[in-house]
Amino acid sequence: MIISTAVARRRALFVMAFTLVVGAFGLITEGHAAGAFAIGKCGAYGQAYDYPAEHAAIAAAAKQCSGSCKTITMKHACAALSVDMKNPCGAHGYAVKPHISSSLNAATRECYKFGGKECVIRAWACDAKG
Residues pairing with 72 in the sheet: 37
Query: Is the pLDDT assigned to residue 1 strictly greater than 80?
Result: no
Q: What is the pLDDT of residue 99?
A: 93
H or E element at residue 28: helix 5-31
**CA distance linking residue 85 with residue 46, whole number of Å:** 18
Domain ranges of the chain: 1-31, 34-126
Q: What is the pLDDT of residue 65?
A: 93
Q: What is the pLDDT of residue 25?
A: 45
Tens digits of residue pLDDT in 50-86:
898 999 999 999 999 998 999 999 888 999 999 999 9
Query: Is the pLDDT assigned to residue 42 strictly greater than 50?
Result: yes
* Average confidence score pLDDT of the chain: 82
CB atoms within 10 A of CB 17: 10
**CA distance linking residue 56 with residue 1, whole number of Å:** 57
**CA distance linking residue 90 with residue 111, whole number of Å:** 9
Q: What is the pLDDT of residue 94?
A: 94
Q: What separation in angstroms does the CA of 24 have from each of 18, 34, 97?
A: 10, 18, 27
| pLDDT band at residue 14 under the 50/70/90 scheme | very low
